[in-house]
Amino acid sequence: MKFMQRKRATLLAVAIGTFMSAFDGSVVNLVLPNISAYFHTSLSLVEWTVMSYLLVISSLLLAYGRLGDMFGHKKIYTTGLMI
């Protein structure tokens, strides 16, 4: 693969990963009232569920940064995208 093609492929992979992480964290907020009504619970309880999810993801950033240092950033990044 030529150098410029690899640079574009890398940029595309990083852009998709960045978009997916932002999308993942915000798309659930649109349906929170529906989830709350479906489970017959308060909206604040459903919001805590989403907040817990985001807190766990944020706390794992340091651990996966270390794994990236140990095993290679590319391998960890592509594994994370596949999961």
pLDDT at position 23, please?
Answer: 85
Coil, strand or helix at 33: helix
pTM for the full predicted model: 0.60
pLDDT mean across residues, the chain: 86
Q: Give pLDDT tens digits for 10-50.
A: 888 888 888 887 887 788 888 889 999 999 999 999 999 88
pLDDT at position 1 over 70: no
pLDDT at position 70, please?
Answer: 94
Domain definitions of the chain by residue range = 28-83
* Burial label, 36 (beta-carbon count in 10 A; 0-12, 13-18, 19+): middle
Q: Is the separation of the CB atoms in 47 and 32 below 8 Å? A: yes
